Amino acid sequence: MKEPLCSSESGLLPYRKKRSHAILLFVKVLLIGINAKFIQTNLAIRLLNAYIQTWLPAPVRNEITVQCCEWNINQSISVIIQGIFTGKPDVVLFSTYIWNKMYVFQIAEDLRKIMPDLVIGFGGPEVSWSCSAVFSESSAVNLIMIGEGEQTAVELLSALYAKEPLLKVPGLCVRGTGLPDSGLVITYTEQRSLLRTLDDIPNPYRNGFGDINPQNRILYYESSRGCPYSCAYCLSSIDHTVRFYSLGRVLEDIGFFLDEKVLLVKFVDRTFNLKPERYLSIWRYIRDHYNGITTFHFEIHASVLTDEAFEVMETMPPGSIQFEIGIQSSNPDTLRLIHRTTDQEILAHNLRRIPSSIHTHVDLIAGLPGEDFSSFKKSFNFAFSFQVDMVQLGFLKILAGTEMEHIAKTGGYAWSSRPPYEVLSSPDLSFDELIILKEIDHLVDTLFNSGLMVHTVRCLARMCGSAFALFEYLSKFVRAWFPDSDLFLPRRPADLFSCIASAIETLDMDHNSSEEPVEWLRYDFLLQGKPGLFPPWFTRRYDKAAHDDALIAHNLLEKGQSRRSAYSRSEFDQFAFTPENPPQPVLFVYPPSGSKEKKAQVLFL
C-alpha cells in the first residue's frame, strides 16, 4: 500500500468541509517541506506544527486541522501539485530553502491558477531577507513569514480564524492584506521578537513520525539556535544571539531517539561545541545509553575542543557520534577576510587527535576572497593530510543578506542569479579553474567520500606528492579512459576499479612502488563485497586451505552450517603492502543479505 504524502498530527481534527460559521475563514492548513533528497526530512515544518499544537488557542485548534506534507525535488512538480490539491487546503505555508526555491515558486504559481482563493505563504532563509524581491518574482504568494516562525504561525492562524487584519501580526511581510486579490502594496509588519524559551517548542517527533520510517531517513534536531561567529558567507552570521534548549530537555529528546532506534540524528546547531560542560554532558549521555544503532551527527569547531573532550571521545562507542568540521581554507589572508580567525596549528593538532573510530567529515569552500588556484591547492592538500573519512569540496554561494553579498558586488565577483547563487568567477579564480575544481570534486566524491577506494587514494596521494596532484591527473585520465569522455556519468564500481588500475600503470613510479597501490586497490575491491567474477587486472593470491583454517580459527563455521555457506559470505587473499615483508593474509567476512551493516569485517591473520 502506498504511503500517504501528508500526515495529520494527533490532537487535530481531520479535514471536513467548510461550515457557514460567521467567523470561520478556513479549516485546513498544510505545512509543506520539499527536501533535496528522499532520505531527508524537514525539521522546520515539524517545529511549527509542534508549537501550533501546543500554543494555538483551543477554540481555533478545535476548528481546524494542520498537516505536515513532504516531497522532494526529484519528484515531478505535477505530482506535488496533485497531492496538495487533493488535500483541499485553505492555507499552505512553504518551507523555502536554496535547494527548493524554484520548485516552490512554480508550485505556488500553478496552485494559484487552480485554487484562486488559497492563502499561500512562504517562510525560511531563502525568502526572509529579500521579501520585496520575492513578491516581484512570485505573483502567487500572499505573505512571507520573516525569521523565526513558531509564534508568527500561531498568531497568523489565530488572525485568519478570527478575520482579524494580518497587518497586526508581527513577523510578516504581506501583499495587500495578506489574502488573495487584496491589493498589491507590500507591507512589513512589526518585527518579531525571538522566542525567549526554546523549551516552549515540544519535541517535534514526540507524537509520532508520521509517514516517515526513522530507520531509513535522516532526522534533524536542534539543541540551540544562533551562532556567535561572523563568517561573511553565512546567513547565521547576521544574528549573533545564541539560545539553548535546556540540557535536561535535550537529554530527554536524545533518550527518545535512542528508544525509537532512529538510524541517524543530525544536530543542526551551527556550532555544537560552544559550551564544554554542556556538549560533554550530551556526549556522555549518548555513550552511557547507546543502543548500538543510532548515530548522532554534530557540526563542531575543532580548534576549541578541550583535552577533556578528547578524553570523552576515546570512550565513545564506535558509530555513536560523527563530526562535520568546516576548514573552508588554510589561507590566513582568506580566513581573515571572511572573519574566521582559526589558529591553523591548533586546528591541525586537534584534527589529528580525533579518534579514528569517529567518522569525520571536513569542508572546504572554493571561491572565497583572496584564494586563487594555487592557494586552493594548498587548502585541499591541508584538508586531505588528516585521516578523515570525507573531504567535502563546496563552492561559494553568494547569499542575499550576508556580508559576502556586499564583498561580491563591490569586488569583481560573478555568480548565478538563480539558486544556489553559486560563484562563476572571482577576482582570484577564473571559470576555467572552477571547472577543474568541479571535476576534482566529483572524483573525490566518487572514489573517496563514497568509501569505494579510500586506501588506494591515500596511497596514490602519498606517491604523487599530494592529493590535489593525484585528482588533477585522474580527472584527465578518467575522461580519456571511458569511450564517452563523460567524467560525470555514473559508472559501475567494477568499471571504476578497472579504470584506476589502468591509471596506476601510467603513473611515473618505479616497479616496486607501483605494486603497493595495486595491492591497496585489490584490498578496496574485496571490501566492497563478495566478487562474482575477478576482473583481469586482479591477481589473486588465494589459498583454499588457509581460507578454511581462518574460518575455523575465528569460529565462522558454526555448528550445522555448511562450508559452502561460510565461503559464500567470506573471501581470502594475501596482500604485499610492503615489498620487504611477506604478503599479509586477510579474511573478509561479509554481512548477511538484507543486513543493515554494509561493511565487510576485516580480519588480518
CATH code for position 386: 3.80.30.20
Residue 193 lies inside a defined structural domain of this protein: no
CA 332 to chain centre: 27
* CB contact set of 522 (below 8 Å; sequence gap of 6+): 538, 539, 573, 575
pLDDT (tens digit, 9 = 90+) per residue, 348-384? 999 999 999 999 999 999 999 999 999 999 999 999 9
pLDDT at 323: 98
415: which strand partners?
A: 423
How many other β-carbons are positioned within 10 Å of the β-carbon of residue 355? 12
The average pLDDT across 171-195 equals: 93
402 contacts 227 by C-beta, under 8 angstroms: no
Residue 547 lies inside a defined structural domain of this protein: yes
- Residue 489 Cα distances to 431, 470, 484, 492, 496, angstroms: 21, 20, 9, 10, 11
For helices 247-259 and 276-289, give the axis angle rounded to 10 degrees. 20
Same domain, 468 and 556: no
Return phi, psi of residue 381, to 5°: -65, -35
The average pLDDT across 175-199 equals: 93
The average pLDDT across 152-176 equals: 95
123 contacts 149 by C-beta, under 8 angstroms: yes
Same domain, 488 and 521: yes
pLDDT at 85: 96
Residue 33 lies inside a defined structural domain of this protein: yes
The Cα–Cα gap between 318 and 520 comes to: 24
Edge-to-edge strand list for the sheet holding 601-604: 570-575, 584-589, 601-604
- Considering the entire predicted model, what is its pTM? 0.91
Q: Is residue 91 pLDDT above 80, yes or no?
A: yes
542 contacts 531 by C-beta, under 8 angstroms: no
Same domain, 448 and 361: no
Domain count, the chain: 4
Domain end among 429, 451, 469: 429
CA angle, residues 57, 212, 68, in degrees to nearest 5: 30
Q: Residue with C-alpha cell 578528547?
A: 310
3-state SS track over 80-103? HHHHHHHCCCCEEEEECCCCCHHH
The average pLDDT across 564-585 equals: 90
Q: Is residue 334 pLDDT above 60, yes or no?
A: yes
Residue 206 lies inside a defined structural domain of this protein: no
pLDDT (tens digit, 9 = 90+) per residue, 37-78? 999 999 999 999 999 999 999 988 888 999 999 999 999 999
Residue 219 lies inside a defined structural domain of this protein: yes
pLDDT (tens digit, 9 = 90+) per residue, 121-131? 999 999 998 89
Q: Residue with C-alpha cell 593530510?
A: 385
Same domain, 445 and 330: no
Q: What is the CA radius of gyration of the chain?
A: 27
Return phi, psi of residue 130, to 5°: -150, 55
Which has more pLDDT, 126 or 211? 126
The average pLDDT across 431-439 equals: 97
Q: Is residue 192 pLDDT above 60, yes or no?
A: yes
374 contacts 345 by C-beta, under 8 angstroms: no
Q: Residue with C-alpha cell 588554510?
A: 330
3-state DSSP assignment of residue 579: coil
Same domain, 416 and 475: no
pLDDT at 342: 85
All 3 cell numbers of residue 337? 577576510
Residue 389 lies inside a defined structural domain of this protein: yes
Q: Is residue 510 pLDDT above 60, yes or no?
A: no
Same domain, 182 and 115: yes
55 contacts 202 by C-beta, under 8 angstroms: no
33 contacts 95 by C-beta, under 8 angstroms: yes
Same domain, 273 and 325: yes
Same domain, 300 and 176: no
Domain end among 511, 537, 563: 537
Q: Which residue, 372, 487, 364, 370, is CA-closest to 430?
A: 372
Size of the chain, expressed as the number of residues it contains = 605
The average pLDDT across 542-554 equals: 91
Same domain, 577 and 449: no
Domain containing residue 58: CATH number:
3.40.50.280
pLDDT at 509: 64
All 3 cell numbers of residue 538? 586482479
Task: Report the percentage of the chain scoring pLDDT > 90.
Answer: 81
Same domain, 551 and 532: no
* CB contact set of 276 (below 8 Å; sequence gap of 6+): 306, 308, 309
Least confident of 25-34, 314-323, 459-468: 25-34
Q: What is the mean pLDDT of the chain?
A: 91
All 3 cell numbers of residue 75? 519528484
pLDDT at 273: 95
* CB contact set of 569 (below 8 Å; sequence gap of 6+): 530, 589, 590, 592
pLDDT at 562: 74
3-state DSSP assignment of residue 167: helix
pLDDT band at 592 (very low <50, low <70, confident <90, very high): confident
Residue 56 lies inside a defined structural domain of this protein: yes
User: Which amino acid, 476?
Assistant: K
pLDDT at 208: 82
Task: Report the percentage of the chain scoring pLDDT > 70.
Answer: 94
pLDDT at 216: 86
Least confident of 72-81, 217-226, 314-323, 586-595: 586-595
- Range of the structural domain that residue 392 is part of: 213-429
pLDDT (tens digit, 9 = 90+) per residue, 225-268? 999 999 999 988 777 789 999 999 999 999 999 999 999 999 99
Q: Is residue 461 pLDDT above 70, yes or no?
A: yes
Q: What is the DSSP string of 89-146?
A: -SEEEEE--TTTHHHHHHHHHHHHHH-TT-EEEEESHHHHT-HHHHHHH-SS--EEE-
Q: Which residues of 487-517 are buried (b: 16+ CB within 10 A; e: fewer)?
A: beeebeeeebbbbbbebbeebebeeeeeebb
Integer distance in angstroms from the first to the last C-alpha of the chain? 49
Beta strands 295-300; 264-267: pairing state:
parallel
Q: What is the largest CA-CA distance in the chain?
A: 90
Q: Is residue 4 pLDDT above 50, yes or no?
A: no
Q: Which residue, 101, 99, 96, 30, is CA-closest to 69?
A: 30
pLDDT band at 1 (very low <50, low <70, confident <90, very high): very low
Residue 470 lies inside a defined structural domain of this protein: yes
Domain end among 403, 429, 455: 429
Same domain, 517 and 603: no
Q: Which residue, 296, 244, 309, is CA-closest to 266?
A: 296
Q: Is residue 27 pLDDT above 90, yes or no?
A: no
Q: Residue with C-alpha cell 580527472?
A: 475
The average pLDDT across 193-201 equals: 95
Same domain, 522 and 600: no
Q: Kind and range of the H or E element at 512? A: helix 511-527
Alpha helices in 393-453 (DSSP H): 403-410, 431-443
Least confident of 24-28, 219-223, 546-550: 24-28
Which has more pLDDT, 301 or 562? 301
Least confident of 147-151, 167-171, 555-559: 555-559
Q: Which residue, 463, 573, 580, 457, is CA-closest to 522?
A: 573
Q: What is the DSSP string of 283-320?
A: HHHHHHH--SS-EEEEEE-GGG--HHHHHHHTTSPTTS
